Amino acid sequence: MTAPSRVLITKIGFDGHDRGSRIVAAYLRDAGMEVVYTGPWQEIADVVALATQEDVDVIGVSSLATDHLLLPELMTALKEAGLGHVQVVLGGIVPDQDIDGLRAAGVAAIFHPGSTREQIVDEIARLAGQARSAA
Amino acid sequence: MTAVPNNSNSLLERLLSGQAIALAKSITAVENDTAQAAELLTGIQPHLGRALVVGFTGPPGAGKSTLVNALIVELRRREQSVGVVAVDPSSPLTGGAILGDRIRMSEHTRDPGVFVRSLAARGHLGGLSPMAARVIDVMDASGRDVVVVETVGAGQSEVEIAEIADVRVVISAPGLGDDVQAIKAGILEIADILVVNKADLPLAERTVSQLKSMLSLREGEMAEVPVLSTTATTGEGIVALADAVEERKGVAVTAEDRAARALQRVRRLLADATAQRVRQLIRAVDGANVDDLCAQVQRGELGVDDAAARLLRQLQQPEDRDGA
Ligand SMILES: Nc1nc2c(ncn2[C@@H]2O[C@H](COP(=O)(O)OP(=O)(O)O)[C@@H](O)[C@H]2O)c(=O)[nH]1
Ligand SMILES: [Mg+2]
């Protein structure tokens, strides 16, 4: 039996609306994953410490306003902490013009409001497998 | 320079040196029972027994996580490094889990002296992950002064926490349905310290006096168990709690104590592991045979106990099946 995937669901920046994160956390739990849930207002250094301690395979960040612009900084911080294998995905409202930059920074997937439950679960499961074999 | 983890040393060495990322990887290894885990568990043996293991158990919503958070504040003030193992149940249907205890401990996230790990109980009927004891050992080996284990009081978890923890704190709070009844029978017996949290709520005093009168009915040692009031959200009463924990450390935690508990635990784990194997064997027994036994039980020709005895005999001598 393979061990369940571990996913950190979190929010960085100033926006406190965490309804989306809660829904995604429940999707992932129902798909058999272990979800560490932190709530909003985390700083980059918090997310790095959380991902370190919890040894997660995937970090899911939700952003409704401009918080996604912090992701390139997060990616760098993760690499510096020796967590380059951890996959980072973003969900929420992301303007089209920001997508290329986020992809270039190494964000593995971006889920828009229209994404289905199946798309989210399947993609995160795939990325978790990838992270674990790279760890 | 940034502290890029040094991978030239073995995981064991890095764990023993207290490196956070090595501690995290080691916990994953023992939790998932990987090939590396056996090596790690052997390697840490000479380094165990230094940490004080404190168990926090009680019903959901009593304020255990908030109280752990407040205790960490006090322990850090006393210059102790802390490890926390926070166990939440897994969904019995999907095996998944949402692990949210550490939300209440977020003020310590970036403190290198505090390491919090969330564990899912993973189908274990007790509230405790089957691997929790090993995870605690790994935290101990990494040099944490105090390891706090938070579990929901459910199933067999109080037995397990009693075996694993040096100091057992049972937490209750007013307004949890039946008040004191919300503390499961059996859970009081394991307590070294009883805490009534949410002392700021109006009915807290009643809960305290109910607990005290329950304790006064007990003989000897039980009657000595302190009942403390705390308000985890403000830190009220936490110094007294930390003192009570430290006091137990001096009094009750002898090496013999630990050795006896460890032996008892291993005995139970052995029984559990054996039962698990037998269960797997039974599943592997060819279907026709089991179907036949079931049919006999159903027809009333054979009692369930007798059928079980026969099945066990078949497992011991598989060739008998073919001779029939
Ligand atoms: N009024 C009051 N609420 C508290 C206190 N301690 C915890 N809580 C609240 O009780 C709820 C459950 O707390 P939590 O620590 O998650 O409980 P757990 O399920 O036992 O871990 C939260 O909303 C806390 O803010 C307290 O001392 N007083
Ligand atoms: Mg809790």
pLDDT digit string (tens) for A29-84?
999 999 999 878 899 999 999 999 999 999 999 988 888 889 999 999 999 999 99
**Distance from the CA of B57 to the center of ligand 2, in angstroms?**
9
Q: Which CATH architecture has domain B48-253?
A: 3-Layer(aba) Sandwich (3.40)
Judging contacts by C-beta atoms under 8 Å, the chain B residues touching residue A54 are 24, 117-118
Q: How confident is the model at residue A2 (pLDDT cuts 50, 70, 90)?
A: confident
**Which of A12, A21, A23, A34 to mutate: most B Cβ within 10 Å?**
A34
Give, in degrees to the nearest 5, the angle at Cα B107 between B102 and B109. 65
Instruction: Categorize the per-residue pLDDT at B73 as very low, low, confident or very high, splitting at 50, 70 and 90.
Output: very high
Lowest mean pLDDT among A34-43, A77-86, B86-95, B150-159: B150-159
- Structural domain containing residue A125: 6-134
Name the residue with higher pLDDT: B196 or B3: B196
Q: Does B35 touch chain A (CB under 8 A)?
A: no
Q: Is B229 in the pocket of ligand 1 (CB under 6 A)?
A: no
Radius of gyration of chain B from its Cα atoms, rounded to whole angstroms? 23
What is the location of CATH 3.40.50.300 in chain B?
48-253
Q: Which of B246, B55, B248, B60 is nearest to B150 (CA)?
A: B55
CATH number, domain with residue A46: 3.40.50.280
Q: In sequence order, what DSSP letters do the residues of B105-173 get, joined into one string?
A: GGGGTT-TTEEEEEEE-TT-SSSS-TTHHHHHHHHHHTT-SEEEEEEES-TTHHHHHHHH-SEEEEEE-
Q: Tell me if A1 is assigned to some domain.
A: no
Q: How far is A131 from chain B (nearest CA, A)?
A: 13
Q: What is the mean pLDDT of residues B77-84?
A: 98
Strand partners, A42: A12
Tokens of B195: 């805490």
Cβ of B179 below 6 Å from ligand 1:
no
Q: How confident is the model at residue B48 (pLDDT cuts 50, 70, 90)?
A: confident
Rounded to whole angstroms, the Cα distance separating A89 from B118 reads 21
Quick: pLDDT tens for B193-252: 999 999 999 989 988 888 888 777 776 666 688 999 999 999 999 999 999 999 887 765
Here the tokens at position B232 are 């985890």
Number of domains, chain A: 1
CA angle A65, A63, A60 (to 5 degrees): 170
Query: Over the range B87-114, which residues count as b (16 or more CB within 10 Å of their CB) and which as e?
Result: bbbbeeeebbbbbbbbebbbebbeeeeb
The Å distance, Cα B232 to ligand 1 centre, comes to 7
B123 and A CB contact within 8 Å: no
Beta-carbon contacts of residue B126 (< 8 Å; ≥ 6 apart) = B154, B155, B156, B157, B159, B160
Q: Is the pLDDT of residue B162 over 90?
A: no
Give the nearest chain B residue to A27 (CA atoms).
B96
Q: What is the pLDDT of residues A85-124, one digit of tens each?
A: 999 999 998 899 999 999 999 999 999 988 999 999 999 9
Specify whether the CB–CB gap between A131 and A58 falls below 8 A. Answer: yes
CA of B53 to the centre of ligand 1 (A): 22
The whole-model pTM stands at 0.86
